[in-house]
Structures are given as C-alpha cells and as structure tokens.
Amino acid sequence: MPKTGQPPGETSSNQPLSEFSEGLAPDRIGDEDAVAFLARFPDASVDIVITDPPYESIRKYKRVIVMASGVKDCGKWLQIFPNDRFEELFSEIYRVLKNDTHFYLFCDAETMFVVKPIAEACGFACVKPIVWDKASPTMTDQYRVRQEYILFFEKGKRTLFGEKIPNILTEKPVNMGYPTEKPVPLLKTLLRQSSLIGQIVVDPFCGAGGTGVAAALLERVFFGNDIYLEARKVAADRIGRLRDELT
Ligand SMILES: C[S@@+](CC[C@H](N)C(=O)[O-])C[C@H]1O[C@@H](n2cnc3c(N)ncnc32)[C@H](O)[C@@H]1O
C-alpha cells in the first residue's frame, strides 16, 4: 500500500470546501462548544468523525498536569462533557456524516456502556469496540488498566479499506504537552481503514490535534475544534508546522 494510505484502486472524493459555512476552514481550529461547531456543517458533508470527549468518568483520573508550554492545570484542563449531552452530540455527528461512513469514539469501559445505546438510538450501528492496548498498565489499584476503548460505529454500511487487522491495537501512550493525547500512529490506522485521500475528517474535541496531525500525514482535509485555548494553540502549531513541512 502506498505511504499515503490510499488503498490501491481507490479514488478519493474531494468535497468542494465552498459548500461549508462561514467560520469553517481546514486546519483552523474552532473554539466553540462541540455541538455548535458541528452545526456549521451541512447535512451529509463529512467522511469520518474521530473524537475523544472528556466524558464524566474521566473525573476519577484528574490530576495536576504540566503542559509543554509550562501551564500548570489541575482540573480546568478538561471541562467534562456530561453524559446527558451525548444524545445531542451523536445526533449532530449522525447528521453531518455522509451515508456509509464510520465514526470512532474514544472512551473508557464505564462510558462505553453509557454511550452505546444512545448512539444506536441516534441511528448508528455499533460494529464493535476496538481496544487500544497501551502496552503498560496505569496506576489504578485493582486489576491495573492498560487499555482504552474506541467504539467503532457505522452510519449505513461500509467495509474497511486496507488490511484485516485485529481489534486490539497496541500503541504506547504519548505525552508531548497535552493530557489525554492520543498517539498519531493509532489515529492513522483508523483513518487509513475508513477514509481516502482528500476526504473530510472532523474532530470536535480535538485537544492537542492528534487527529489533525494524522489527517495531514495521510493527505486528508481536517476540521478540528476545542473550547480550551491551550489545546487550540498546541493543535494549530503541530498541524501548521506539519503542513509546512509537507508542502
Ligand atoms: C479528552 S480531550 C481530547 C484529547 C485529544 N484526543 C488529544 O489527542 O489531544 C477532550 C477535549 O475536549 C475539550 N472540550 C471539553 N468540553 C468541550 C466542549 N463542550 N466542546 C468542545 N471541546 C470541549 C477539552 O478542552 C479537551 O481538550
């Protein structure tokens, strides 16, 4: 398979960006609430959503974080996205996705049980949970956790591109300046499996912008958003530098 992630024989489908509403531009990180950000997209205009909301159960893991910028933050770094807002979030994600597309949601085991029926009620089919094996356990006291889940949803029906890979993806965690950062190689795997060159990737809770970095590396078009200024700075800087290097 070519380095770009374009499966042999597959063609990309470029969406004319002029169709998008004011305030949206690729690689410009939006600063709104996730649901308001998604509301800017027309119906059936997005090829894939990969996202990682700060779900309620994350409260357990809160601790003092020192970011790469030196900002010390204890608690404020993640404003929780409450469970009772998942219905409006998933309805918007379902609306903006084209037919026959995929939606990946990072979560822990507790949140997985909460969100699966809500997403199904919004129209998604849950294909299966994917396990992100972090290769080393965290500091929990009972049966130390060394995985997170990525719930894999379908709108309509779509086969994966690429190889038949197992549903356990092993990748060491990264911490390059923002908490809860997801590794770019893991995000690239999801993008390769479910999107093509030139297609539109959206992450409404983009944090440090890992999804955008993976999208840039694979020549996808990225629209990201985060309400937290520190996140937007890190994400815009990473994606901007990479796009410069690649052109
Ligand atoms: C778990 S983190 C995402 C981390 C990201 N996956 C990464 O690789 O850096 C969740 C992000 O959602 C943002 N956030 C919290 N509530 C939000 C909301 N209502 N709308 C948009 N972003 C929100 C937080 O600022 C945080 O950066």
The protein residue whose alpha carbon is closest to atom 19 in ligand 1 is 33
In-domain check, residue 10 = no
Distance between Cα 231 and ligand 1 center (Å): 8
pLDDT recorded at residue 69: 59
pLDDT recorded at residue 38: 97
The protein residue whose alpha carbon is closest to atom 12 in ligand 1 is 205
pLDDT recorded at residue 60: 67
pLDDT tier for residue 238 given thresholds of 50, 70 and 90: very high
Q: Please, which residues have CB within 8 angstroms of residue 163's CB and are 6 or more apart in sequence?
A: none
Q: Is the pLDDT of residue 199 over 50?
A: yes
In-domain check, residue 7 = no
Determine the residue of 33, 187, 228 to mutate for testing ligand 1's pocket, defined as the one with the most ligand atoms within 8 A of the Cβ atom.
228
Q: Is the pLDDT of residue 202 over 60?
A: yes
pLDDT recorded at residue 176: 72
In-domain check, residue 74 = yes
Atom of ligand 1 nearest to the CA of 36: 20
Kindly write down the DSSP assignment for every residue of the chain, as one continuous string. --TT---TT----PPPGGGSPTT--TTPPB-S-HHHHHTTSPTT-EEEEEE---BGGGGGG--EEE-TTS-EEESTT---B-GGGHHHHHHHHHHHEEEEEEEEEEE-HHHHHHHHHHHHHTT-EEEEEEEEE-SS--S-SSS---EEEEEEEEES--PPPS----SEEE-----SSSTTPPPHHHHHHHHHHH--TT-EEEETT-TT-HHHHHHHHTT-EEEEB-S-HHHHHHHHHHHHHHHHHH-
pLDDT in tens, 117-170: 999 999 999 999 999 999 887 766 678 888 999 999 999 999 999 778 999 999
Distance between Cα 192 and ligand 1 center (Å): 23
Q: Which residue has the higher pLDDT, 198 or 59?
A: 198
Distance between Cα 87 and ligand 1 center (Å): 17
Q: Is the pLDDT of residue 213 over 50?
A: yes
Domain extent for 223? 25-246
pTM: 0.89
In-domain check, residue 54 = yes
In-domain check, residue 6 = no
Burial grade of 25 (CB within 10 A; 0-12, 13-18, 19 or more): exposed
Q: Is the pLDDT of residue 198 over 90?
A: yes
Distance between Cα 226 and ligand 1 center (Å): 6
Q: What percent of the chain has pLDDT over 70?
A: 81
Q: Residue 107 belongs to a domain with what CATH number?
A: 3.40.50.150
Q: Is the pLDDT of residue 9 over 70?
A: no
Q: Is 55 in the pocket of ligand 1 (CB under 6 A)?
A: no
Contact 47, 93 (CB under 8 A): no
Number of domains in the chain: 1
What token pair was written down for 212?
């955008």
In-domain check, residue 1 = no
| Averaged confidence pLDDT in the chain | 86
pLDDT recorded at residue 114: 96
pLDDT recorded at residue 13: 53
In-domain check, residue 206 = yes
Q: Is 213 in the pocket of ligand 1 (CB under 6 A)?
A: no
- Neighbouring CB atoms inside 10 A of 1's CB total 11
Determine the residue of 40, 56, 205 to mutate for testing ligand 1's pocket, defined as the one with the most ligand atoms within 8 A of the Cβ atom.
205
pLDDT recorded at residue 181: 87
pLDDT tier for residue 61 given thresholds of 50, 70 and 90: low
